[in-house]
Structure 1
Amino acid sequence: MTTTAVPSAATPAAATKLPSAWSLGRHRASIEIKQFFRLREQVVFTFSFPIVFLFLFASIFRDDMANTGATASQYYVASMIASGIMATSFQSLGVSIAIERDEKVLRRLRGTPMPPVAYFLGKMWLVLVTGTMETALLLLFGTTVFDVDLPSDAMGWLTFGWIFLLGLTGCGLLGIAISSLPKSGRAATSVVVLPYLVLQFISGVYILIDTVPGWMLNIGALFPLKWMCQGLRGVFLPDSAAALEQAGSWEFGRIALVLSAWCIGGLVLCLLTFRWKSARDG
């Protein structure tokens, strides 16, 4: 007579395998995306703001740019895409995470078995989705309303792709880092929006790059927005327009180095500064 061993719940074979941080990050991303789209006012403002500014600037400044063959609409499509990338990453994360910390959402999440990296993966997935949607809307609006020409070759789209991804990642990490600066969720908007607004003026978003004082451009060059604007101008504007740049060229190699450095530097800043609790919680 033979007996059959019954597996015990305590045996390793029957043990439940915990999901990976990557899997939990994707699950967290679905929650973040659903929460974002449930706030209709936030959705409308996020996606309409750069389109409204593109319409205003491209309509007001309709002349060709200094005999370079470039139009104002081409210039401002590039500028508003760069600005939109920073808005959906740096500004969005800087404000929302500060509010979540103030409302003790982060503290509760930290007390769950979810690994911390899953939370940040969820935020970066949210940034990727919203940044992609906003960029697509700007491209659609620019091509249909102002007849902006899109890149005609694979190299142009490849350049567009790595600028988008590096810029989004660097600005997203910088937004996570700056979220620890406001002392309360109520103060987050003022603390985060002010530097973002200033950078738009000194990085060639609202003002044509050849009219911005050199010392302002030098300050703007310390941050990723100026380099995203310059790289995207290189994608959408003709090569002759590079003469308007501070260096007289698009400097794609330097753009890649600076944006990559911001990805690394932003990660270091996150590790050094991020807090799960507000200062008054100890």
Structure 2
Amino acid sequence: MDTPVPLPFSSTRAYLLEARYEFLRLLRTPSFSLPCLLFPPVFYLLFGVLLGGKGGPVAAQYLLAGYGVFGVIGVALFGFGVTVALDREQGLLTLKRAQPMPPGAYLVAKMAMALLFAAIILLLLAALAAGVAHVRLSAAQWGAWAATCLIGVLPFSALGLWLGTLVGGRGAPALINLVYLPMAFLSGLWVPLTMLPELLQTLAPAWPAYHLAQVAQQAVGVGAGRPLGLHLAVLAAITAVFFMLARRRLVQ
């Protein structure tokens, strides 16, 4: 008689397999993987290195923080929002509920996928920043920047998950772009906020990306010195609120 596999091992394997297949699924989807992996490094090369060269190392550091945040937000919003909308529309969520798998494996797999894609983006940006833009940061600053961006996957995964519950698979990309692109610009991820009109500078804290960008800027040494606790509290609140809203819609 075969010896039954212990439950903890079986559960762990289920989480790992779900995460692996989710990552491979999206890596093999060019409409997701190519824009998510290439846009942040290409934009940083254009605006942070070629066009922003006159600003010197400070401009390159500022835009490194901005495009790092831009990259992880895109992965989180599209990785959760579009795929959740498609999975709901195609009945995949219902199928997974009927399978003998841990209830949280679906979301954990998506979170692992987002973190892996975000890590690849950050490695590409770091290579460009150090090798082409000649950004010189201490090991602690590199680590703080990477950790800030990776932790930032959480609030925007929650936001993406909620957006994915609002519309179907066809409407999800348009809805997410309507949120993602204006938020990135108005939060100072592409250009310094000081270059925007005063009204937009005043309204910038209303965007979640602004708070993550402020933390990332302080990590690389170009922040305005505002209290980190405020930005972290806002991001934590966003994570909790949008996960709760998404959960209510998913269980309906």
- Give me the TM-score of the superposition, normalised by structure 1: 0.79
Aligned-pair identity in percent equals 25
Aligned to 1:279: none
Larger radius of gyration: 1
Choose the corresponding residue for 2:76, options 89, 93, 104.
89
Aligned equivalents of 2:33, 2:178: Cα separation in 1: 21
Aligned to 1:213: 197
Range 82-91 or range 52-61, more displaced: 52-61
Aligned equivalents of 1:83, 1:99: Cα separation in 2: 23
Contact 1:177 1:266 in 2 (8 A): yes
Choose the corresponding residue for 2:187, options 187, 197, 203.
203
Paired amino acid for 1:103: Q
Task: Give how far 1:91 is off.
Answer: 2.5
Contact 1:79 1:205 in 2 (8 A): yes
Aligned to 1:271: 247
Change (3 A) 1:208 1:259: same
Task: Give how far 1:175 is off.
Answer: 1.1
Paired amino acid for 1:194: L
Aligned to 1:177: 162
Aligned to 1:37: 27
Task: Give how far 1:219 is off.
Answer: 3.8
Contact 2:63 2:191 in 1 (8 A): no
Aligned to 1:80: 67
Count of aligned positions: 250
Choose the corresponding residue for 2:51, options 22, 42, 60.
60
Write out per-residue CA displacement over residues 226-248 of structure 1, whole angstroms, 9 at most, x where no aligned residue.
1121222222244xxx4xx4xxx
Aligned to 1:140: 127
Aligned to 2:144: 159
Range 34-43 or range 111-120, more displaced: 34-43
Paired amino acid for 1:88: V
Change (3 A) 1:15 1:51: closer
Matched, 1:28 2:12: no
Aligned equivalents of 1:26, 1:220: Cα separation in 2: 39
- Give me the TM-score of the superposition, normalised by structure 2: 0.88
Paired amino acid for 2:51: I
Aligned to 2:227: 251
Aligned equivalents of 2:121, 2:43: Cα separation in 1: 13
Paired amino acid for 2:177: V
Residue aligned with 2:185, SS = helix
Aligned equivalents of 1:91, 1:117: Cα separation in 2: 20
Contact 2:77 2:160 in 1 (8 A): yes
Contact 1:173 1:263 in 2 (8 A): yes
**Structure 1 gaps, min length 5:** 1-7, 277-282
Contact 1:51 1:138 in 2 (8 A): yes
State the superposition RMSD in angstroms: 2.5
Paired amino acid for 1:263: T
Write out per-residue CA displacement over residues 158-187 of structure 1, whole angstroms, 9 at most, x where no aligned residue.
5325422431111112211111011x2111
Q: How does 1:112-127 map to 2 (within 5 A)?
A: 112-127=99-114
Residue aligned with 2:104, SS = helix
Matched, 1:230 2:220: no
Write out per-residue CA displacement over residues 139-165 of structure 1, whole angstroms, 9 at most, x where no aligned residue.
111211111122x153x3453254224
Aligned equivalents of 1:99, 1:269: Cα separation in 2: 19
Contact 1:28 1:119 in 2 (8 A): yes
Aligned equivalents of 1:218, 1:91: Cα separation in 2: 28
Paired amino acid for 1:199: M
